[in-house]
Each structure stands twice: as C-alpha cells, then as structure tokens.
Structure 1
Amino acid sequence: MKRVLCAVLTAIAGLSAVAGTATAAPGPRAACPDDKPGYVRCLTSYKPAVRGLADVPSGWGASDLAAAYRLPAGAGADTVVAISIAYDAPNLESDLNTYRAQFGLPACTTANGCFRKVNQRGDAGPLPAFEIGWAIESTLDVSMVSAACPACRILVVEADDPRLDNMAATEETAVRLGAKVVSNSYGARETGAAIALGKSYVHEGATIVAASGDNGFTAASFPAVLSSVVAVGGTTLARDEGSPRGWSETVWQGSGSACSAYVAKPRWQKDKNCGKRTVADVAAVAETLALYSTDVGGWITVDGTSASAPFVAGLYGRTGHLGKPGDLYGRTGFFDVVTGNNDPRLDGAKCGGDYLCVAKPGYDAPTGLGTPDGLTAF
C-alpha cells in the first residue's frame, strides 16, 4: 500500500506546474505491493495521471489491438468471461464504459445484462473493501476483455483479500455462475501450498487463463504454471509500416517465463531443456496500454501480463470455443515473436541464450507459440 500511495503523491506533486500545462509523467509504479507467503499480487504497473495528460488516452487502445492482431469485424459471441480479482473497485462499471465509449465499443452495464459484479461467494453484496492497486488491475482486466470481445458478458468475482484460498474460491464461483472463460491477472511464486489449490483451476466447462508474471525469467508463477491453465506472456508492440502486417513485436522485458519445479511435463509440450511444465503457452501485448481510471485521475498507461491474459481470455470468449493449453500446440494462427529476451540482465546470459529466456523461431518460453493472428488458434 505504501508503494501505491507514493505513486499517487508523485502524481499530485506533478500538478505544481501552471494549470493546463502538461508535465512529464513519472515512471511506472507497481500497482500492488509485493506478495507475502500465502497471498498473490496483481501484475500491473502504471504511470499515474498528471494534469494535461489525463484527459485523452495515450498508449494502445482497443482499435489498435484489433488492427495489430487482425481481429475480424463484428463483436463476437456473447460468452460470459469472468475476472478473478481481489478487493472491490467501486468505479469499475463507469470506468469500463468510459473506455468502451472512447474506442467505439457498445456499452456494457448492469442494466443491459452485460456487466455483473459479485463477491467470492457469488452474492451482490456485501462487496470487499476498496484497494486502489487492485482496482486499477480490475479495470485493466475488464477493459482488455472488452477490446478482444466487445459482445462478451463480463462477470467480476471479487475475493475478500488476495489470499491464495480466497482467490481459488473465485474460480469456483465464476464457473458456478456460468463463466466459460476465467481470467487471472495475478500470481504468486510456485510452491507446494499453492499447487495444492490447483484443483480449483480445473473445470471441464471452462477455459482458465492466467498471466505468466512480470519478473522475467525466474521461478514459475502460480496459477499460470498449472497444466490446466493457458499461461500468457507479454510482448512490446510497435507499428511497422514497412512490413506486410504493419506491426511488429518483441519480448516484453518483464514477460514471465519459467521451468516448473513441481508440475509434470504435459505430453503436449515438446521443448527439450525443461523437464517439467514450461511457462508460457502464448503471448500478447503487455506494454503501454491505454486505461481510464477514476481512482488515479483519468487516462493512464499500464504495463504487465495483466493486460495480456484478459486479452487472450477475451479472444476465447469471442470465438465461444472452450480450450485447454494443449489444444494450442500444433495449431496455426500465431505471429512468431523471434526477437528480444526477458533476462533481467538484458543479455540472455541467465539462461545461456536458451529459448527459456530468449525469443527464437518457433516455441520459446517468454512468448510461447507466439501472439494471436486473428482467431484461428482459439
């Protein structure tokens, strides 16, 4: 919480310039404090809004993502996509609809049946306490689902707090209430205690998606490490007018990748240098996303695989197809990301230049099979 408060105070300090004059935005700040044993943390960093910069969006918006990933025209299926999150975001519905209106997406409200928010038991109230960092995360989740699937109905299930068991409870509730896809933009270091809760992330009637983490090549992140979960890494997106696609992607430096210490190698993973489950499976943009948040003053930019995971969840929702991680392997429909690494040392030496932390043609751990080229793979 101290980190979040410092971020907000930094933004306020920036307002000392003459009214109406833009000031330089501070660097990214982690939305959530570091996790502690038995808890997860949200995987978002953001640049606080400053006067002169908060009234209009900057960063990639829904229309940019539709173009970059060649999404077809039309809104897609009306699948229920759930967001598993901790704490309450009181402004969530209104902020979501500010985002949707900005990018020409239809309204998604409680009144029209598109939006629903419940506690971890599935009740409309009482809702948990407000926590600003998790509220930013929640707003990012619903916005990215919207960007991928404008017609999807959104169910937000709010845990009392980010304890592992409470987050697992939101998975059960989401599926019980009809979610066909569940997005998880949080993580904790893989441990035996976390893995013991893995059964909550296995549902025959739903696709479970999770962010791979924001700390680069390191220990595996739960729940992304589970073999029942589609693990989503992150990329840096750029315009590339000279290419047939018109866009290019490299590994986002923070994109989580890992070789599990606990989860057995799934039969559908064929990479050679990890004897157990390798993270990630696929990837999507994770840097400089536009987001509207009342809690921090308006339009901001955010980074993190917290953006990548709900975007991929939205693609599953858009097709209406259920899927497991193994279904993706061997399919076409991906842009192969072949440049960049997620070694915290920036040179790929931590993994010896190996595919576990360096992008390579074909499968590599930071970006998995690649990023979405339309909806074919989903």
Structure 2
Amino acid sequence: MVRLLIAVCAAAAAVGTSAPAAAAAPVARAACPDPGPGQLRCLTTYTPGATRALADGPVGWGADDLASAYRLPAGAGPDTVVGISIAYDAPNLEADLATYRAQYGLPPCTTANGCFRKVNQQGAAAPLPTVDIGWAIESTLDVSMVSAACPSCRILVVEGNTPGFADLAETEDTAVRLGAKVVSNSYGAREGGASLAYASHYQHPGVTVVAASGDSGFTAASYPAVLAATVAVGGTSLARDPDSARGWAEWAWEYGGSGCSAYIAKPKWQHDTHCGKRTVADVSAVADSLAIHSTDVGGWLPVSGTSASAPFVAGLYGRSGRAGVAQPADLYAHASQFVDVTTGHNDPSGAGKKCGGDYLCVAGPGYDAPTGVGVPNGLSGF
C-alpha cells in the first residue's frame, strides 16, 4: 500500500496548477515490474484507471462466459485442494474473492466454511508477508480463475516473503505439504542455471503442477513452465461467434508465451520437430480481458496474462477428479479431446516473422507452441 500511495502522491505533484489538459487514454501495464536477479515476475497486465465501481459490474470475461466457452459441466464437483504459489500478501483477497463468486452465482468460499485458506511460506496463518499491490492483483486473478473453473474446489494460497527463486520454491513445497493436489504458478523468469537449481521443488509425486507460459510472445522459454514435469499453459483471445457451432471463436493471444528450451531435454511425449528440447506450451486457455474485482485498485477491472489461463487450467484439473494423477504427457495422449486453435500468433512485432512463420509462434492445425494441443472442451482432456 505504501508503494501505491507514493505513486499517487507523485502523480498528483506532477499535475501542478496549470490549466487541465485533455486526459490521456489509460495505458496497460504489467502488474509486477521486471524482476531483479534471482527473482520471478507475476504475469498479469492491467490498465490503471479502467476500474468500475461495484454497482457498475464487471468488464471482461466472467465465470459464466468461461463456463460457456469451455463447455464446463453443471453441478458440484470434487473439493480438491488447489494450491496457489504466490509472492507477498494480498490483504483483501478473501473479500475480493467473495465479491467475484457472488457476482457469478458461485458458492461462498471462505475461511469460515473451510474452503479458503491463506498462509505464509512456512504454512502458518501469521505473520504474513509485506503487501505488494501488483502481486495482490495477481493473487486476486488466481483465486478468481480457480473459482471459475472449479467452484467446489478448496483454495490454498501460500504467500512467499519475496518473489525470489528460493522463497517461491518453498511456497510450492508448503502447498503440497498442506494437501494441494494441483498447484498453480502464475509467474515466470527466463530459464537458466540459477532458476533451474530449484527445479525439484516443482516436481512432487501425486501432484499436478501448472505454470503460466509467459506474456512476452515467442522468446526464451519461461521457468517453471519449461520444466518437463510442469503443465505449461499458453494464452488465447476469445470472442463470441454466434455463427459457429461452438458459439465462440478463439485464436492465439498476441502476447502469450512460447519457446524452445536451451536446457531441458525433449520429453518423450513431445514430438514436434523444430525444437530439439522441451517446447512450451502444452495447452492453453483465454488470457485476454478477464474480469476480476480488486479492492486495492478500486473495483472491477479487466486483466490479461497467462497468469489467468494457468490457474483456470489448474482449476479444471481439480474439477476433473484427476488432479495429482494427471501429468503433461496425458494432454498429448488426449489431444483429440481439446479444441484445436488454428489461427493467430504470439509475435507482437509481426505475424510470425520472429519465428519465420513456424509453429513455434504461429497457431495452426495440430500442435503449436503458442496454444499447445488446444483449449479445453469440457473436462475429458484432463
């Protein structure tokens, strides 16, 4: 909160007493700044000043839209524990989650009813880490997307003291120790020796680990998504299409991450030919313009990032009843049960120029790196 107040005061001072100028259009920005060495960055983009009051309602895709687009089943599902690995504290997280769930008619998920739990990286309810508004927006997005995917799942949020490799690795272990069968990670860093030293913390027998593929388009593969034991989730853009049988159109999100690892050996279940090592991503879901409610920035706002698609997919694993059993290889074995995304690219500089029009950054029939095997079509693929 202190960081936010400083920014607001600085902006006010810059205005001065001159005659008012025409207001500039709000500009989207990353919720979390580029990290320093040994740190990871949350993968959420939002637009300051684009919030709406509670009475005005959401802007962006909501839980009902996602249920329609991905043909999610009606009725209650299992109460799988979905872990959220995150940095810093989000003080209004439970209240914002309550607002989101009430808006979309989802059952309450609270500390009191045992559905919601928030702990520090050692697993204790207190003391919690310091507050960071950017990471708080990320936390709010995470719990909202898990809720949209699996309203019956229990949510365990484990907050690291910092976004450092070691602290977030500990949150992963703590989430597993406290019963999570699937753990979502909405952060990333360029793969390399320093990050890969913590790879073992993202591999636990009987647990499905999910991570965002990144928000920088086709580039160096993102850790921890690049790990062979991790389900790497890419991003798409979504639109209603009443003329189609599905009722929706979907294409590769322009900023969704994909990459070819420089370090991780090719898993035996990956058979694409233009990357000799691990290719990211494995699967995808919408990452563009999701509605959340954040008290920290003033209400409802649309956010984007593969840090939306990753917890959504984590929630689908929880709802499928196969969390902990399912691993990345299963997605490829069940590829026909996903909706293949065949259009779009994740090269903001041009339509696939960055990879020469290759499947590594351009969506097409079958597997491609921006969207993986495709997007969910119910729960059968999980």
Coarse TM-score class (shorter-chain normalised): over 0.9
Query: Aligned-pair distance for 1:348?
Result: 0.6
| Distance across 2 between alignment mates of 1:84 and 1:92 | 14
Gaps of 5+ in 2: 14-22
Root-mean-square deviation (CA, aligned residues, Å) is 2.1
2:359 to 355, 359, 369: 355
| Distance across 1 between alignment mates of 2:29 and 2:2 | 11
Identity of aligned residues (%): 70
- Residues 144 and 280 (structure 1 numbering): CA distance in 2 closer, same or farther, change over 3 Å? same
Which 4+ residue blocks in structure 1 deviate beyond 4 angstroms? 1-13, 49-54
Match of 1:313 in 2: 314
| Distance across 1 between alignment mates of 2:113 and 2:329 | 36
Q: Which moved more, 1:347-356 or 1:2-11?
A: 2-11
Query: Aligned-pair distance for 1:50?
Result: 4.7
Match of 1:324 in 2: 327
Give the letter for the 1:237 counterpart.
Answer: L
- Measured against aligned partners, the alpha-carbon deviations of 1:219-249 in whole angstroms (never above 9, x if no partner) come to 0100000000000000000000000000010
Query: Aligned-pair distance for 1:344?
Result: 2.8
Match of 2:301 in 1: 300
Correspondence list, 1:22-101, <5 A: 26-50=26-50, 55-101=56-102
Give the letter for the 1:77 counterpart.
Answer: P
TM-score normalized by structure 2?
0.93
Query: Aligned-pair distance for 1:317?
Result: 0.4
| Distance across 2 between alignment mates of 1:52 and 1:144 | 19
Query: Aligned-pair distance for 1:3?
Result: 9.9
Query: Aligned-pair distance for 1:309?
Result: 0.0
Give the letter for the 2:345 counterpart.
Answer: N
TM-score normalized by structure 1?
0.94
Correspondence list, 1:223-302, <5 A: 223-302=224-303
Contact 2:52 2:301 in 1 (8 A): no
Correspondence list, 1:158-173, <5 A: 158-173=159-174
Query: Aligned-pair distance for 1:261?
Result: 0.5
Match of 1:113 in 2: 114
| Distance across 2 between alignment mates of 1:320 and 1:87 | 30
Match of 1:184 in 2: 185
Match of 2:347 in 1: 343
| Distance across 1 between alignment mates of 2:319 and 2:120 | 25
Aligned to 2:194, the other structure's residue is in SS state helix
Q: Which moved more, 1:98-107 or 1:335-344?
A: 335-344
Name the count of aligned residue pairs.
369
Contact 1:8 1:296 in 2 (8 A): no
| Distance across 2 between alignment mates of 1:52 and 1:301 | 10
Aligned to 2:110, the other structure's residue is in SS state coil
| Distance across 2 between alignment mates of 1:281 and 1:208 | 12
- Measured against aligned partners, the alpha-carbon deviations of 1:293-314 in whole angstroms (never above 9, x if no partner) come to 0000000000000000000000
